[in-house]
Structure formats: structure tokens, C-alpha cells
Amino acid sequence: MDDDRTEDSIIPSDYEEADERSLSRDLRAPVKPAGNRQGPMELGASNTRFQWAVTLIFATALGALFAQEGPKIVTDTARNITKNENITGPIDFWVRVPYFLLGTIVGSFVASLLIRYFQSLGEKWRETEPGERITLMLGAVVGLLVAVTSINIFTAFISDKPVIALLVFGIWVGSSAALIYAMETMQEVLPWYKNRGPVKRTGMKILDTNVIIDGRIYDVARTGFIEGQLYVPGFVLEELQYIADSHDPLRRQRGKRGLEVLRHLQADFEMEVRIHDHLAPDAQDGVDSRLVRLAKAVGGDLVTNDHNLNRVATLQDVRVLNLNDLSLSLRPNVLPQERLALTIVREGNQIGQGIGYLDDGTMVVVENGQKFVGQFHEVVVTQVIQTERGKLIFAEIEGEEKPTRKSGPRRGSY
């Protein structure tokens, strides 16, 4: 019934692939939020200083260790290979310098590996919900207590300490995993899961893929009808990039359109990207599921024009702003006997009918308008029918005879 929305004036019809790639890379970087709180730049500088400190400690420690023990190890190795116990080497300052440099290189490499490992652990820990953190900590502590109490039992039968250590470690890991799994299955009765209250509403507007591709979100935001922080999840941006790289020309154009809309939103409004994605970390879930989880976690509103996502989010007590509903509600009310002026653009399905459209795209079926196709004419509304997709208006031209129809039901939809 409604015409498809054409390209907005803000969206260029074509642009270079290099600009598209640079746009996608730029959008992946979080935008510094407004306010006096510490931003990404300050946090990045603090993390860099900490990493340099850890690297320096490891490099110095391993450098000193290599300088002290390296010459001895080389000398002992040479003796074992040549079977000559008389081999000795001068161990002075200049001999130790290469070993020290080698140790600093190895220490720097080890430090970088450890930093990356603990950073990934820290990210996963921050992504974990508070109730899950309590479960993990409690499971680890109780598992450790079970393992410690088993030491006396093992020492009574086993004298080999390495074997005892391995058994205790295995009991700790096994009992912790079993306890954590048991608590995960009892979330309904555990207080740190059961007493979780609703998240306070923040007014953040979370954009989904469809509403970005649609493009009307920019016009609505520009008029000031959307308040609060705009947020684009990283997985939505990745889906847009995937669509923009599609082999299908239509899908590729839609993806490019969405990226260009984001460019204008980022230029004209405060928009955050990826910052809160850790609240919906499971990449195996669909984009719609992660959007709903994210909106619930941050207390935000979901902005979409997807009917199915609208229903799913509403069922989970997430507030949804549907642009299609907004568009329908803004259409002017038309009553029977009201006069409209429009252009009849084509013939209708029935004999003698003509089809025209209002400025908002609403279809008007003119009963006796077939012979006026291509003309601008005034019509009188006779009936208004509300459908799932909007309104369907029937009208006629005054003074014209109604065409005679064959008996039988009307054919199909318009």
C-alpha cells in the first residue's frame, strides 16, 4: 500500500569504497561521552603506564637472571658436550652484557604475553554479571577448601609430594566446577540472582540495523523528537559492514546507506559505539537477542522499525520506539465526504478505478477515475479502511457516473 521510501537527500547515491572502509573503522572507535568523568584517552594513558612498568620489571628481572646464570649454563653445556672438565670461561662484566640483553628481550616478550592474557581475563570479568561473579568466587573458594582438607588424606597413603600436589589441584578444579554448575542451575532460589531489581531507566536510545538502514532516524533526531544518548552496538555495526560487503547489489547498497546514515548521526549528535557491548557478550546469540539483553542491562530504549523485534522486546519489558508506528500516527485523519486533491497515477484493479497517493504515501482508490489517469483532480472520500500497514482510502469524482462492476468479490489487495 505504501510506497517504498526513496533515498534521503542527505544520502549520496554513490561514494568510494575507500571512504566506506574508513567510515567503518572510524565508527568502531568509541566516542568520548560528555561530562567530567574520565574518558578513554585518560584511561588509555593509565593503562599504557602500567604496561610499561610491568614490562620494565620483567625485562630487568630476566636480564639480571640471564646475566647471572647464563655464562654458567653455557660453560656446563660445553663441558657436557666435549666431555672436557677443564673448560672454563672468563665471567666478567662484558661477558654478561649479551646475556643481560637477551634476558631483557625474553622478559619483554613474556611480559607482553602476560599483559594480554590478564587483559582478556579482565574484559571477561567486567562482562560478567554481578550474580555470576559471586557464583564464580564462591565456587572457587569452596573448591579450594575441599582440596585443602583432602591433603591429610593423601599424605597418609602417598609419600610423593608432586603426585599429592597434582591430586589436590585436580580436586580443587573439579569440585569448583561442579559447585559452580550446581549454582548455575539453581539461579531461581539463590539470593544474588533472585533479588536483582529492575535496572534504572537511562533514556539511552539503542539503534538496530533496520532503523539505521531506513534512514528516517536521522530526520527524527534532527527535529529533536529523540532525547537521550544515541548508542550503536558493535555487533550492529558489524552486521552493517557485512551487508555492505554483500555480493547482492541491493543488499550492498542498503549496507552503504546504513553506514552513511551513521556518518551523519556521528557528525551531528553525541553517539556512543561499542562501549556497553560487554553487557551482551554472547556472540552466538542473534543480533535481536543481544539488542534486547543490552537494552534491559542499560535501561535503554530500543529504536527499531522491525515488527518482530518490537513484539519480542515488548514481551520482555523493554521500551520500544517504532518509527513505523510514529509515521502512521503522524498521518492526517481523513473522514468520509472530505475533499482531497491528488494526481491519479494509474489504473486500479477494478473496472473504472484509478489509483492516486497522498503526500504521505497513503493510497487512494478513485472509483470513477480511470479516464483521469495522469491528471490532477479533486475527489470526495467515500470510505476509509484501516489495515495492518496503514489506511486505504476510497473516493470518487463528483459528477461522474460510477462504473458498473461484474458481480463477485473484489480481486486481491491494492
Of 104 and 403, the one with more pLDDT: 104
pLDDT at 49: 80
Phi-psi region for residue 274, left (φ > 0), alpha (ψ -120 to 50) or beta? left
Rounded to the nearest integer, the mean pLDDT of the chain is 78
Phi-psi region for residue 321, left (φ > 0), alpha (ψ -120 to 50) or beta? beta
Domain chopping of the chain, boundaries: 40-127, 129-197, 200-328, 339-396
Q: Please state which of the ranges 240-249, 309-318, 384-393 shows the lowest mean pLDDT.
A: 384-393
Tell me what the mean pLDDT of segment 146-169 comes to.
Answer: 81
pTM recorded for the entire structure: 0.47
Of 93 and 113, the one with more pLDDT: 113
pLDDT at 356: 93
SS3 274: coil
pLDDT at 52: 85
Of 128 and 221, the one with more pLDDT: 221
pLDDT(219) > 80: yes
pLDDT at 95: 76
**Class of 200-328 in CATH:** alpha beta
The architecture CATH gives domain 339-396: Beta Barrel (2.40)
The residue behind cell 594480554 is: 116
Whether residue 172 contacts residue 144, with contact meaning beta carbons closer than 8 Å, is answered with: yes
pLDDT(262) > 60: yes
- Kind and range of the H or E run holding 142: helix 130-149
Q: Please state which of the ranges 154-158, 213-217, 256-260, 322-326 shows the lowest mean pLDDT.
A: 154-158
Taking the C-alpha atoms of residue 394 and residue 345, their distance in angstroms, rounded to an integer, is 15
pLDDT at 186: 76
Give percent above pLDDT 70 in the chain: 80
Residues 319-330 have pLDDT tens digits of: 999 888 887 777
pLDDT(20) > 70: no
Of 75 and 16, the one with more pLDDT: 75
